Amino acid sequence: MSPTPPIKDPSRRDFLQKSSAAVVGGSLVASLGVARTVHAAGSDTLRVGLIGCGGRGSGAAKNAMQAEDNLQLVALADAFGDQLDHCKKILERTLGKKYAVNDENCFVGFDAYKQLLETDLDVVLLCTPPHFRPAQLRAAIEAGKHVFCEKPVAVDPTGVRSVLETVELAKQKNLSIVSGLCWRYEYGVRATMDRIKDGAIGDIVSIQENYLANTLWHRGRKDSWSEMEYQMRNWLYFAWLSGDHIVEQHIHSLDKALWLMDDQPPVSCTGLGGRQARTDEQWGHIFDHFAVCYEWANGVKTFAYTRQMKGCHNDVDDYVLGTKGSARILKNEITRIDKPGDEGKWKYKGIKASMYDIEHKELFAGIRSGKIINNGTYMSYSTLMAIMGREACYTGQKITWEQAMNSQQDLSPPAYAWTDIEVPQVAVPGKTKLA
Ligand X SMILES: NC(=O)c1ccc[n+]([C@@H]2O[C@H](COP(=O)([O-])OP(=O)(O)OC[C@H]3O[C@@H](n4cnc5c(N)ncnc54)[C@H](O)[C@@H]3O)[C@@H](O)[C@H]2O)c1
- Site residues (vs ligand X, CB under 6 A): 51-57, 77-80, 83, 110, 112-113, 127-130, 132, 150-151, 180, 182, 232, 248
* Distance from C-alpha of 302 to C-alpha of 320, rounded to nearest angstrom: 9
Contact 180, 281 (CB under 8 A): no
| Residue (314 or 406) nearer to ligand X, CB | 314
Q: Tell me the C-alpha distance between 244 and 287, whole Å.
A: 7
Please report which helix (H) or strand (E) contains residue 137, including its range: helix 133-142
In the complex, least distance from residue 103 CB atom to ligand X, rounded to whole angstroms: 17
Closest CB 421 distance from ligand X, rounded Å: 14
Strand partners, 295: 268, 301
Cβ proximity to ligand X: between 173 and 360 the closer is 360
CB distance 91 to 61 below 8 Å: yes
Smallest gap from Cβ 207 to ligand X, in A, equals: 21
> How far from 9 is each of 43, 67, 165, CA to CA, in Å?
5, 21, 35
The residue (of 15 and 225) whose beta carbon lies closer to ligand X is 225
Q: Shortest approach of ligand X to residue 36 CB, angstroms?
A: 22
Q: Considering beta carbons, is residue 137 or 196 the nearer one to ligand X?
A: 137
Q: Is the Cβ–Cβ distance between 87 and 78 less than 8 Å?
A: yes
Which is nearest to 289 in space by CA: 307, 311, 270?
307
Cis before 265 (ω within 30): no
**Which of 93, 97 has the CB closer to ligand X?**
93
Considering the complex, state which of residue 156 and residue 248 has its C-beta at the smaller distance from ligand X. 248
Q: Are 127 and 78 in contact (CB under 8 A)?
A: no
Task: Give the up-direction half-sphere exposure of residue 25: CA atoms within 13 A in the CB hemisphere.
Answer: 2
Q: How far is the CB of 181 from ligand X (least distance, A)?
A: 7
DSSP, collapsed to helix, strand or coil, labels residue 136 as helix
The span from the CA of 356 to the CA of 42, in Å, is 29
Rounded least distance, CB 237 to ligand X, Å: 12
In the bound state, the residue with its beta carbon closest to ligand X is 54
What is the nearest approach in angstroms of ligand X to the Cβ of residue 60? 8
DSSP string, 156-224: SHHHHHHHHHHHHHHHHHT--EEES-GGGG-HHHHHHHHHHHTTTT-SEEEEEEEEEE---------TT
Closer of 30 and 139 to ligand X (Cβ): 139
Closer to ligand X by Cβ: residue 95 or 232: 232
Select 94 or 298, whichever has its Cβ closest to ligand X.
94
SS3 content of the chain, % helix, strand, coil (to 5): 40, 20, 40
- Minimum CB separation from ligand X for residue 39, in Å? 27
The nearest distance, CB 342 to ligand X, in angstroms, is 34
Q: Give the shortest CB-291-to-ligand X separation in angstroms.
A: 21
- Residue 301 bridge partners (DSSP): 206, 295
Between 354 and 432, name the residue whose CB sits nearer to ligand X. Answer: 354
